[in-house]
Amino acid sequence: MPSRTPSTDVDAFLRELEHPQDAAIRRLRAVIQAADPRIGEGIKWNAPSFHVEGHHFATMQLRRQDSVLLVLHLGTAKRAMPDGALHDPDGLLTWMAADRATVSFVGTQDVDARASALQAVLRQWMAHV
């Protein structure tokens, strides 16, 4: 089970982070946390990462300067998302592999516009970690 990093560590990380998408990163973090009260967070791969019941399921990728990428994954064990397990009517997900998908956001307006759809996808995704 991954160690739980307190949110204060993520707060400290974000205070030190100099990123053009800072506001979008912070807003995306809040949207993810609001999806389910069981969601915890920490720093993984030098970015905010989210877990439920000790199992990581989403990690931000902060390499790009023009957007924020959210990588949804099924943890460290290699396994595929079951066919038909996710309902994504808004087409948020770009599948990278059978166990990994991404969603890209450009700015806070983009995060806000797709917040409800993202939370619905996250709740479904968490059921499989």
Mean pLDDT of the chain: 90
Q: Which residues have C-beta within 8 Å of that of residue 90, sequence separation ≥ 6?
A: 114, 117
The pLDDT assigned to 1 comes to 38
* Strand, helix or coil for residue 111: helix
CA distance 20 to 65: 6
Decide if pLDDT at 80 tops 90.
Answer: no
* pTM of the complete model: 0.90
E-state strands within the chain: 39-44, 47-52, 55-61, 68-73, 94-97, 100-105
How much of the chain, in percent, has pLDDT values that exceed 70?
A: 92
* Strand, helix or coil for residue 7: helix
125: number of Cβ within 10 Å:
22
pLDDT tens readout for residues 7-64? 668 989 998 998 999 999 999 999 999 999 999 999 988 899 999 988 899 999 999 9
CA distance 65 to 82: 33
- Rg for the chain (alpha carbons), in Å? 14
